[in-house]
Amino acid sequence: MQVTTTPEDIDVTQETLKYIIYGVVGIVISFWAAFLIIKKIGKDPKNILPVNFAKRIQIPLLLFLIAIVIWIGKASKVFENAEYNFAAKHLIISLLVISITWFLILFLKVFKRRLLSKYDVSREDNLKARKVYTQFTILENIIIFLLIILAVGIILMSFESIRNIGISLLTSAGIAGIIVGLAAQKAIATLLAGIQIAITQPIRLDDAVIVEGEWGWIEEITLTYVVVRVWDKRRLVVPSTYFIENSFQNWTRTTSDIMGSVFLYTDYDISVDVLREELTRLLESSPLWDGKVNVLQVTEATEKSMQLRALVSSKNSPTNWDLRVFIRENMIKFIKENYPKSLPRTRVVFEDNDSSGSLQTFKKSSKSDE
């Protein structure tokens, strides 16, 4: 069977080839021009765009240019075939929605980065910075989630068949909607808990907390879970609802400085005033102390020893931990070197009448060398 080619078909083929060639050339030129302009803008630190923004915008920019070229071809009636015209229409919508959504997410990240550049979390007094970082991190996740859902919805609703299916599903939702709602109850509650944490802020990034008996710092906050960095470098992943429904300790809720306690046990014959002087000397010699709290008190007395509690303060919880260890080690060393007989001892009294009729009392030390 011989296929004949008419002049009209040749003209259409030539027009299609011209469109493809011009389209590819236009995409390449426009892409590189826009890429170089954005890259040049990013090199100037005074501009809002970061240095690596040009690389991050490559893919969405390319998708946007492809959609524009296809739209020009469709407007020029290059796609005479109905099927090609239908495919081009939905491809244009999909590419435009994806690229614009991508652009919005990138600009949102740029805006967040530029805004948070005014706040330094590494500073000692970083309470306000951690508060702002926490709010914008969670709100960013919420906005990105909504943008993606909206983009997917727009793309799907551009297809007539999917739109009809959606309408039929809505009319017969009934019991299925109730079942889905019950099944998604925990997921929705988790999302709402994440939003509530962003607004009320019971926790913030880098807060020192005690969760499930574990001491750690808030490392990451998302819409559904929170990551706690435990002191031994483990990571404790906790659902967002935990911080709304359960009690927990937040040691840096209003300020980062903190007090810590050191307990010592000594015999009754030691001078507490001397220990107070030694505690003051140790604190003044240590850069870990913030100069605010210096207290030594007898908090308990038993039949065997007395309990001494030293209260010391530092700029933050990690520093306070190191300070408490420093005080504990050096106070024990001071007592051992200067008052060795004042360490906790167990006394045993034996009643025995000697030839002189006097009562003999023996002290049995808990130390092995006494």
Break the chain into its structural domains and give their ranges.
7-169, 190-250, 258-342
Give the mean pLDDT of the chain. Answer: 74
DSSP element (H, E) containing 300: strand 294-301
How many other C-beta atoms can be found within 10 angstroms of the C-beta atom of residue 50? 16
Give 283's pLDDT tier (boundaries 50, 70, 90).
very high
Query: Which residue(s) pair with 225 in the sheet?
Result: 239
**Which H helix or E strand runs over 208?**
strand 208-211
pLDDT top residue among 208 and 120 = 208
Equal CATH topology for 190-250 and 258-342: no
Q: Cα 127 to the chain's mean position, in Å?
A: 15
In DSSP terms, which residues pair with 226 in a beta bridge?
221, 238
Q: What whole-number distance in Å separates Cα of residue 280 and Cα of residue 370?
A: 31
Q: What is the pLDDT of residue 248?
A: 87
pLDDT of residue 333: 92
| CATH fold label, 190-250 | SH3 type barrels. (2.30.30)
Place 212 in a pLDDT band, splitting at 50, 70 and 90: confident
Does position 220 have pLDDT exceeding 80, yes or no? yes
Q: How far is CA 45 from the centre of its chain?
A: 27
Residue with tokens 């750690």: 216
- Per-residue pLDDT, averaged over 325-350, amounts to 85
pLDDT for res 44:
55
Burial of 203 (0-12, 13-18, 19+ CB in 10 A): buried
Phi, psi (degrees; rounded to nearest 5) at 359: -95, 125
**Residue pointed to by tokens 């007989």:** 341
The one-letter code for the residue type at 325 is: V
CATH number of this structure's domain 258-342: 3.30.70.100
pLDDT tens-digit map of 20-73: 555 566 666 666 666 666 666 555 555 555 556 667 777 887 788 777 777 776
Q: 330-349 in b/e burial notation, b at 16+ Cβ within 10 A? A: bbeebbeeebeebbbbeeee
**pLDDT at residue 259, as a whole number:** 81
State the DSSP string of 159-201: SHHHHHHHHHHHHT-HHHHHHHHHHTHHHHHHHHHHHHHHHH-
pLDDT tens digit sequence for 132-191? 777 778 788 888 888 888 888 777 777 766 665 545 544 554 545 555 555 556 667 777
* Residue of 350, 349, 347 whose CA lies nearest to 302: 347
Taking the C-alpha atoms of residue 205 and residue 190, their distance in angstroms, rounded to an integer, is 19
Tell me if 321 sits within 8 A of 257, measured CB to CB: no
Q: What local confidence, expressed as pLDDT, does residue 122 receive?
A: 65
Name the more confident of 199 and 255: 199
Q: How confident is the model at residue 276 (pLDDT cuts 50, 70, 90)?
A: very high
d(CA 118, CA 121): 10
Alpha-helical regions (H) of the chain: 7-43, 53-56, 58-75, 82-116, 127-157, 160-171, 174-183, 185-200, 242-245, 272-285, 317-338
Average pLDDT over residues 252-279: 86
d(CA 338, CA 328): 16
Contact call for residues 232 and 246 (beta carbons, < 8 A): no
Percent of the residues in the chain that have a pLDDT greater than 70, as a whole number: 65
Residues in CB range of 104: below 8 A, 6 or more apart: 147
Output the six-digit token pair for 370: 């006494």
Collect all residues with Cβ–Cβ distance below 8 Å to 74 and sequence separation of at least 6.
Answer: 85, 88, 89, 92
- The span from the CA of 252 to the CA of 262, in Å, is 20
Checking if the pLDDT of 362 tops 70, the result is no
Tokens of 146: 């909504």
